[in-house]
Amino acid sequence: MTAKTNYRLRVLLLLVCISSLCLQAQHQRQWLASGSLFPDKTLDYREAQFSGSLYVLHTPSGWPNRMFANYSAGMNRSIYRWENSENKAAELGIEIATFTQFIFEDPLNTFQVNHFNTEYKVGLLYSRKLTDNWTFRLRLYHISAHLGDDFIYRFYVTEYLDNPRIYEVLDFSAAYQIENWTIYATLGVIPHTAYERKRLLGDLGAFWKKSVGQKDWLRWMLAAHVQFEQETNFYPGTRLAAGIEIGKEGSAPVTIMLDAFHGYMPYSLFDKARISWIGGSMSFQPFR
């Protein structure tokens, strides 16, 4: 074998190795990968998802003749994901959402609909899956609340109100998944706020899912979510739910549930009002 031939073989071998590495890299790295490494927190009212709820409202003074509705439109989307052969993975993603609430006055008679509040959320996230069970997420997001025109006109808001619900959050979440259970917790800090607001907040929760019979597209669901903020002296806002999930795992299943919440209002600049409500909800993630 001549030196020239030997050189050509080495170059060819190098090119084969480079091609192999490139193919492996393409296999391990994905743009706009389907799904999300960190499990969805379906009961979190700030979750970037499509959802709708209709509640009967209770306040400390009793049951006012009104109903409350929440609607959200949002997505939690993986932008770039990389994996390895040990079932470990990481991803960068974004979340964008809008949350809108309506108050129905005298629903059995007049049924006056008031646009109460709209909130906007945009964030960046980094998720890391370390094992089959453990996933972590670091997230930075902005959220802002804005009263609806109907509420301003009909409740005679005649001056600008301070809005402490315009701020940024940096939080860290951990989730543990085993068999039919997922348990998660989040701790966050508000690094910047437009108005004075205490800095710490977080949540914790769990959900259980189990297939109905042999159907891989239908599951029972039970869930609990507790949120807390230093701003309200860490009083727990608790949401409980039971229902069904329709759709195959890894697609875009729809969750239909009965749920109840007690705590401080999770929306608007009136988030110092303590309320309870009970009703029905639906949620799903179409952009997966």
* Domain spans, the chain: 1-31, 32-284
Q: What is the pTM of this model?
A: 0.85
- As a whole number, mean pLDDT of residues 141-145 equals 96
Question: What are the helix (H) ranges across the chain?
Answer: 3-28, 149-154
Q: Are 121 and 95 in contact (CB under 8 A)?
A: yes
Q: pLDDT value at position 16?
A: 44
- pLDDT tens digits for 44-99? 999 999 999 999 988 877 778 789 999 999 999 999 998 876 678 999 999 999 99
Q: Are 286 and 50 in contact (CB under 8 A)?
A: yes
By C-alpha distance, which of 88, 101, 112 is closest to 54?
A: 101
- pLDDT tens digits for 239-271? 999 999 998 877 788 999 999 999 999 998 888
For 84-235, where are the E strands, in sequence order?
A: 89-105, 112-129, 134-147, 166-178, 181-193, 200-211, 218-229
Q: pLDDT value at position 170?
A: 97
Q: What is the C-alpha to C-alpha distance for residues 285 and 40, in angstroms, rounded to an integer? A: 9
- Considering only the top CATH level, what class is 32-284? mainly beta
By C-alpha distance, which of 280, 240, 287 is closest to 263?
A: 240
- pLDDT tens digits for 17-53? 544 444 455 458 888 888 889 999 999 999 999 999 9
- pLDDT tens digits for 220-242? 999 999 999 999 999 999 999 99
